[in-house]
């Protein structure tokens, strides 16, 4: 997959996410095994499915770029949601995650290959839905955010679309500020650094995106 183009084209469903020392420190503590933590946002029985979803969004690549599991992104996202996101957004996201997990349990098996196949199919459905479907789902979500619709009345597709878009945004955010990614795969230059004028990205960094400063 073209990871660079995927990151460049993504938007964040929950708005701009600030890179702060607290966020960087939180991510540094997340290099442990995928489930070696006590979740604050997720339920313990949701972690397996959510890890598979994140691995579908950000898998490791053949050229050695680590994915969601290797970087501990699930733990970071759990901590971010518990400590940063507003209560209303949390309640909506909790509702959506519970709905998605319930659907997964009804339609997939315990076999790891089949479970991943299920999440890949769902990702294709919501990430490549087309403008007409996305516009319709976004219209529902806007109506919900305006208080004209309660979350129990929103369609399953719009609700699940919101969850997939949100977690894609969170995953890419966590990926970009990860120390391993910043220092080994992006252009890492501590501030203050050298100031170059009007030069191309190829000339300045060999085509690499700039890493976020720690």
pLDDT, tens only, 45-59:
999 999 999 999 999
Task: For the chain, report the end-to-end CA distance as a whole number of angstroms.
Answer: 27
Confidence category of residue 9, pLDDT binned at 50, 70, 90: very low
The pair of structure tokens assigned to 67 is: 């994915």
* Domain housing 89: 3-10+18-205
Count up the domains in the chain and report the number.
1
Q: Does residue 152 sit within a domain?
A: yes
Give the E-state strand segments of the chain in sequence order.
Answer: none
Q: Does residue 66 sit within a domain?
A: yes
Which whole number is the average pLDDT over 101-127? 84
Q: Does residue 173 sit within a domain?
A: yes
Identify the pLDDT of residue 214: 45
Q: Does residue 213 sit within a domain?
A: no
- Which residue bears the tokens 């208080």? 147
- Which residue bears the tokens 């790891």? 112
- Which residue bears the tokens 């997990």? 101
Q: Does residue 153 sit within a domain?
A: yes
Q: Does residue 186 sit within a domain?
A: yes
Q: Does residue 158 sit within a domain?
A: yes
Q: Does residue 187 sit within a domain?
A: yes
Identify the pLDDT of residue 82: 82
Report the chain's mean pLDDT, rounded to a whole number: 76
pLDDT in tens, 136-188: 999 998 888 787 888 888 999 999 999 999 999 989 888 877 776 666 655 55
Which one has a higher pLDDT value, 175 or 15?
175
């Amino acid at each position: 997959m073209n990871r660079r183009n995927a990151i460049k084209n993504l938007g964040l469903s929950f708005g701009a996410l600030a890179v702060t020392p607290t966020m960087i420190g939180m991510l540094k503590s997340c290099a442990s095994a995928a489930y070696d933590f006590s979740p604050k946002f997720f339920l313990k029985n949701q972690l397996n499915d959510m890890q598979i979803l994140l691995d579908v969004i950000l898998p490791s690549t053949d050229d050695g770029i680590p994915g969601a599991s290797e970087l501990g992104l699930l733990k970071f996202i759990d901590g971010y949601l518990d400590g940063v996101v507003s209560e209303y957004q949390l309640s909506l996201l909790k509702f959506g995650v519970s709905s998605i997990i319930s659907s997964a349990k009804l339609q997939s098996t315990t076999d790891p290959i089949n479970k991943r196949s299920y999440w890949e199919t769902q990702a294709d459905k919501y990430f490549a839905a087309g403008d007409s479907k996305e516009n319709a789902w976004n219209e529902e979500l806007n109506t919900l955010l305006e208080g004209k619709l309660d979350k129990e009345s929103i369609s399953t597709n719009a609700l699940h679309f919101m969850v997939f878009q949100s977690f894609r945004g969170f995953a890419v955010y966590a990926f970009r500020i990860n120390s391993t990614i910043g220092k080994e795969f992006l252009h890492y230059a501590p501030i203050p650094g050298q100031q170059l004028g009007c030069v191309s990205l190829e000339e300045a960094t060999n085509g690499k995106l700039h890493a976020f400063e720690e």
